[in-house]
């Protein structure tokens, strides 16, 4: 599981944070936005604040024994927001997402997702009236968004803004090496009512695409030249697409053809492929 600090706004509008690991990608494709899923106690400061304000920031932290001690302190239940933040060792700064007010973010986080709770799903906005019920919330319950059990909440969090350290952003755009990944620890959570467990980061290893998994150029050309009867691909252009997994090939080729149509092209060759790749790289930089 990841090691996260989730920042929210308390009743006074001040930033507070809690430590979480049960936070995972939810919408990754096919929607007009990306989203994360957070699972937590509905009596936690974080859940209460999201129910009330709908705003949070997911702060991803790197491997550091010193930081992990601070994360554990922020994750242990029982203290008020003010008591927790009085002991917080992390430097905070404003985020960049619009639609405030929003909580501050952790300055040293290698990545931050500034989010808004999508309370339209399952009419979860109706659960806002349950703020303050800290001894358990009676049903009826939602299936996947809002108050989902007497003591639990699930939040579908729309990602409004992604903040990332420049080093890691550049690696996504320009290609990665072993040293260009963040030192991401794996959190095993709270066990035996005694310890919080996690494992130290190790150097990442790579594995090439399995032999024989690349598609042949003929297969790519067959698929490419069926997308549009007026826009065709050369063999050299198709050679640049053989590493695209088959399940993604049609969607990728369709995007290329759509761009070619916008440009008035009838033939996609290597120079056109380079322009398409450059366009994609610029779009990533904007994100």
Q: What confidence tens digit (pLDDT) does each residue in 26-59 have?
A: 998 778 899 999 999 999 999 999 999 999 999 9
Contact by Cβ (8 Å): 37, 23? yes
In this predicted structure, what is the pLDDT of residue 286? 64
**Whole-Å CA distances, 259 to 85, 267, 286:** 50, 12, 18
Beta bridge partners of 20: 4
Tokens of 260: 């070619």
Phi, psi torsion values for 36, nearest 5 degrees: -115, 155
**Lookup result for tokens 């550091």:** 64
- pLDDT tens-place string over residues 85-104: 888 889 999 999 998 899 99
**Lookup result for tokens 């129910």:** 51
Spell out the residues 6+ positions from residue 22 whose beta carbon is closer than 8 angstroms to its own.
1, 38, 39, 40
Beta bridge partners of 155: 38
CB-count burial class (<10 Å; 0-12, 13-18, 19+) for 242? middle
Question: In CATH, what is the architecture of 4-199?
Answer: Roll (2.30)
In this predicted structure, what is the pLDDT of residue 17? 95
pLDDT tens series, the chain, 287 aa:
778 999 999 999 999 999 988 999 999 877 889 999 999 999 999 999 999 999 999 999 999 888 888 888 887 777 788 888 888 889 999 999 998 899 999 999 999 999 999 999 999 999 999 999 999 999 999 999 999 999 999 999 999 999 999 988 888 877 778 788 888 888 888 787 788 888 888 888 887 766 666 678 999 999 999 999 899 999 999 999 988 888 889 999 999 999 999 999 999 999 999 999 888 877 766 65
Percent helix, strand, coil in the chain (nearest 5)? 35, 25, 40
Phi, psi torsion values for 251, nearest 5 degrees: -65, -40
What is the distance, to the nearest Å, from the Cα of residue 35 to the centroid of all Cα atoms in its chain?
7
């Amino acid at each position: 599981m990841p090691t996260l600090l989730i920042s929210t706004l308390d009743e006074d509008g001040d930033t507070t944070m809690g430590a979480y690991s049960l936070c995972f990608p939810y919408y990754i494709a096919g929607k007009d936005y990306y989203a994360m899923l957070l699972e937590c106690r509905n009596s936690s400061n974080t859940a209460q604040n999201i129910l009330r304000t709908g705003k949070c920031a997911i702060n991803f932290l790197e491997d550091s024994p010193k930081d992990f001690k601070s994360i554990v302190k922020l994750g242990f239940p029982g203290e008020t927001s003010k008591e927790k933040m009085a002991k917080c060792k992390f430097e905070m700064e404003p985020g960049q997402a619009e639609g405030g007010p929003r909580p501050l973010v952790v300055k040293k986080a290698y990545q931050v997702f500034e989010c808004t709770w999508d309370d339209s799903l399952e009419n979860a906005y109706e659960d806002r009236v349950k703020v303050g019920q800290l001894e358990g919330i009676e049903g009826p319950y939602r299936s996947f968004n809002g108050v989902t059990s007497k003591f639990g909440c699930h939040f579908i969090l729309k990602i409004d803004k992604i903040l990332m350290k420049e080093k890691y952003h550049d690696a996504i755009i320009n290609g990665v090496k072993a040293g260009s990944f963040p030192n991401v620890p794996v959190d095993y959570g709270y066990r035996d009512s005694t310890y919080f467990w996690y494992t130290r980061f190790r150097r990442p290893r790579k594995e090439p695409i399995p032999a024989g998994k690349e598609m042949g150029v003929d297969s790519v050309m067959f698929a490419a030249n069926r997308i549009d009867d007026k826009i065709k691909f050369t063999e050299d252009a198709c050679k640049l697409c053989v590493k695209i997994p088959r399940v993604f090939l049609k969607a990728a080729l369709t995007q290329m053809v759509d761009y070619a149509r916008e440009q008035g092209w009838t033939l996609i060759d290597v120079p056109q492929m380079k322009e398409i790749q450059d366009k994609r790289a610029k779009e990533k930089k904007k994100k």
